[in-house]
């Protein structure tokens, strides 16, 4: 016996929590897909939490930053800006510029989110990270049904963000337990490489990726991380031309 959700595929009868077994299976699949990246999220969160402690910020405020911003690079920029006494407007603009890359991710995942209800779009927008967006793009064709896809995306996005939140909390409590010699700043680019390389299947994608890398390196001295935005736009432009 199964019930149907209007406009979506049939599902087994829902549990007392209102969520059927199939939804939890898809949620778990999303969690498994992003699981290899969760340790990196936790460790990076650990470093950001330690920065909160050593910088003398209130622990509640520091943890609230992770919960509200949910973006490590901009959180570090905010804390550093406040620490050196930069004007608040400069601190806010810096964070917005760094996080402007998420607008590109939003455009990229828009087709995958197109069949989602508005409340799901808003919730998943909050949970969107670089890694969750990449996993969504990598797996969207395997989930043509929007209901199954949204539960998969939720599983990936929520568990990755939870690893970040837990890491931040642990860093605030424990302080700088990671030796600086570990150079954990490399964790983020390594995660991107592990996601990007298997997904490059066409010539346009390869050329776009190479273009973005070259532009990011050439313009590495641009302030506010603008080299990343320039690299993304250059890669998109070249990829579109080749297609």
Residue 185 lies in a domain: no
Residue 10 pLDDT > 60, yes or no? no
Residues 85 and 146 in one domain: yes
DSSP 148-206: HHHHHHHHHHHHHHHHHHHHHHHHHHH-S-S-GGG-GGGHHHHHHHHHHHHH--SHHHH
CB 21 within 8 A of CB 12: yes
Residue 4 pLDDT > 80, yes or no? no
What number of other Cβ atoms are within 10 A of residue 72's Cβ? 22
Q: What confidence category does residue 8 fall into, taking pLDDT thresholds of 50, 70 and 90? A: very low
Residue 220 lies in a domain: yes
Residue 46 lies in a domain: yes
Closest of 148, 138, 142, 136 to residue 112, by C-alpha = 136
Rounded distance between C-alpha atoms, residue 80 and residue 76, angstroms: 6
Count the domains in the chain: 2
Q: What confidence category does residue 195 fall into, taking pLDDT thresholds of 50, 70 and 90? A: low
Residue 80 pLDDT > 60, yes or no? yes
Expressed as residue numbers, the domain containing 220 is 200-243
Query: Region 2-7: what's the mean pLDDT?
Result: 38
Rounded distance between C-alpha atoms, residue 79 and residue 197, angstroms: 32
pLDDT digits (tens, 9 = 90+) for 138-176: 899 999 999 999 999 999 999 999 999 999 999 998 877
Q: Is the pTM of this model over 0.85?
A: no
Q: What confidence category does residue 98 fall into, taking pLDDT thresholds of 50, 70 and 90? A: confident
pLDDT digits (tens, 9 = 90+) for 102-138: 888 898 899 999 999 999 999 999 999 988 998 998 8
Mean pLDDT of the chain: 82
* More confident of the two residues 216 and 157: 157
Residue 230 lies in a domain: yes
Query: Region 175-190: what's the mean pLDDT?
Result: 64
DSSP 20-63: -HHHHHHHHHHHHHHGGGHHHHHHHHHHHHHHHHHTT--HHHHH
* More confident of the two residues 26 and 221: 26
Residue entry with tokens 């969504």: 136
Residues 72 and 152 in one domain: yes
> Residue ranges of the alpha helices (H) in 85-141?
88-99, 101-113, 118-127, 130-139
Is the sign of the CA dihedral 160, 165, 168, 170 positive or negative? negative
Residues 157 and 229 in one domain: no
Residue 29 lies in a domain: yes
- For 242, counting Cβ atoms within 10 Å of its Cβ (0-12 exposed, 13-18 middle, 19+ buried), the class is middle
Residues 51 and 160 in one domain: yes
């Amino acid at each position: 016996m199964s019930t149907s959700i209007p406009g979506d595929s049939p599902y087994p009868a829902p549990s007392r929590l209102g969520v059927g077994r199939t939804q939890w299976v898809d949620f778990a699949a999303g969690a498994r897909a992003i699981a290899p990246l969760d340790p990196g999220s936790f460790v990076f969160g650990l470093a950001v939490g330690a920065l909160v402690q050593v910088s003398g910020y209130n622990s509640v405020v520091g943890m609230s930053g992770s919960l509200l911003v949910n973006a490590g690079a901009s959180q570090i920029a905010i804390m550093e800006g406040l620490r050196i006494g930069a004007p608040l407007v400069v601190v806010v603009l810096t964070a917005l510029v760094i996080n402007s890359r998420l607008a590109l991710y939003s455009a990229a995942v828009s087709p995958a989110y197109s069949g989602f209800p508005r409340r799901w779009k808003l919730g998943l927008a909050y949970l969107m990270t670089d890694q969750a967006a990449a996993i969504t793009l990598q797996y969207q064709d395997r989930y043509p049904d929007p209901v199954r896809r949204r539960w998969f995306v939720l599983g990936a996005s929520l568990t990755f963000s939870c690893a970040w939140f837990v890491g931040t909390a642990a860093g605030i409590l424990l302080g700088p337990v990671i030796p600086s010699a570990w150079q954990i700043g490399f964790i983020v680019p390594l995660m991107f490489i592990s996601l990007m390389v298997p997904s490059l299947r066409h010539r346009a994608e390869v050329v776009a990726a190479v273009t973005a890398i070259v532009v990011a390196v050439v313009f590495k001295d641009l302030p506010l991380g603008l080299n990343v935005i320039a690299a993304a736009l250059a890669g998109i432009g070249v990829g579109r031309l080749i297609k």
